[in-house]
Amino acid sequence: MNIGTLEEHYRLELAPLYESDEAKTLFSLAAEQILALSASKLMVKKDEAVSFINMQKFLSILNDLQIGKPIQHILGEAHFYGLVFKVNENVLIPRPETEELVDWIISAYGKQGSINNFEPKKLSILDIGTGSGCIPITLKKHLSNTKVSVLDISVDAIAVAKQNARQIGVEINFIAADILTFKTEEKFDIVVSNPPYIRDLEKDEMHNNVLLHEPHLALFVSNENPLIFYKAIADFAKTNLKPNGELFFEINEYLGKETVNMLAAKGFINIELRKDMQGKDRMVKAGI
């Protein structure tokens, strides 16, 4: 059977599906991480024989890429703020925009307490809709003296987040609950969330590798009530933030004004809207 060379498969099957640079990057990542073969070597020594096992593995990667499976799902991991998180189809793949949200919190709270050698005040943080756990785990890792809790409606997502916390070596308190009904007596210094915010009407703008492979539960909201989770989280924050506490949201780029207005109507103060690296409205901070 002529199973072809890796280079032939790459050129004939993968490259035409992607911009060629993207195909090359995906190919290199897969070759290096899964086959433990240096991609540059593969591309130069195109016809060098590879073992049958590697070829089988390669073909299965190729097939996954052809059906639009995200590279992070193929590798089983994603990089976020210098850490590596396990991901699967039950959690959203961490996005660079969310790194910017986390960075906002770390720069705002990271230095407190270092003045005059005071022990920093213990911060309590709640992340709502945690998915892979990339937000709370990164915050716990970078902010000393914090108590971090997370909430998610999906027990499958919590299983992934727990595994990530264990692997990265941080202690997190996990709660499986729906924020639309969740209540607690506990008060927090920071409530943070990247809830679902893509309206059904925006589905057309989305790539199939997101639509077919990432959890819709984490992504979509109705056209009629796109701020449903933001309103519920804002109400929760009104009762459960400590004095001087702050609420941080990742938001839909088209709903910046609506989110700010909703927060102002609920009586939040010092509301700040920020853009992401692409110049799109992407995060909001508000105080009580």
Nearer to ligand GLN, 11 or 95 (CB): 95
210 sits near ligand GLN (criterion: CB under 6 A): yes
Alpha-carbon distance of 34 to 253, in angstroms, equals 36
Q: Please give, one letter per residue, the 3-state secondary structure of the chain.
A: CCCCCHHHHHHHHHHHHCCHHHHHHHHHHHHHHCCCCCHHHHHHCCCCCCCHHHHHHHHHHHHHHHCCCCHHHHHCEEEECCEEEECCCCCCCCCHHHHHHHHHHHHHHCCCCCHHHCCCCCEEEEEECCCCCHHHHHHHHHCCCEEEEEEECCHHHHHHHHHHHHHHCCCCEEEECCCCCCCCCCCEEEEEECCCCEEHHHHHHCCHHHHCCCCHHHHEECCCCCCHHHHHHHHHHHHHEEEEEEEEEECCCCCHHHHHHHHHHCCCEEEEEEECCCCCEEEEEEEC
- Cβ of residue 101: shortest distance to ligand GLN, in angstroms? 10
Give the shortest CB-218-to-ligand GLN separation in angstroms: 6
Nearer to ligand GLN, 6 or 281 (CB): 281
Give the shortest CB-281-to-ligand GLN separation in angstroms.
12
Give the nearer residue to ligand GLN in terms of CB position, either 75 or 210.
210
Contact map string, positions 124 to 163, toward ligand GLN, x by CB under 6 A? ----------------------------------------
Q: With respect to ligand GLN, which residue has the nearer C-beta, 226 or 245?
A: 226
Binding piece for ligand GLN, criterion CB under 6 A, among 5-13, 177-185, 195-203, 271-279: 195-203
| Candidate segments 183-191, 192-200, 234-242, 268-276, binder of ligand GLN by CB under 6 A | 192-200
| Phi, psi dihedral angles at 221 (to 5 degrees) | -135, 165
Q: Binders of ligand GLN among 84-103, rule CB under 6 A?
A: 95, 97
Residues from 218 through 237 that contact ligand GLN (CB under 6 A): 219
| Residue among 50 and 221 whose Cβ is closer to ligand GLN | 221
**By C-beta, is 3 or 180 nearer to ligand GLN?**
180
Q: Does 197 bind ligand GLN (CB under 6 A)?
A: yes
Contact between 50 and ligand GLN per CB under 6 A: no
Q: Which residues bind ligand GLN (CB under 6 A)?
A: 95, 97, 194-198, 210, 219
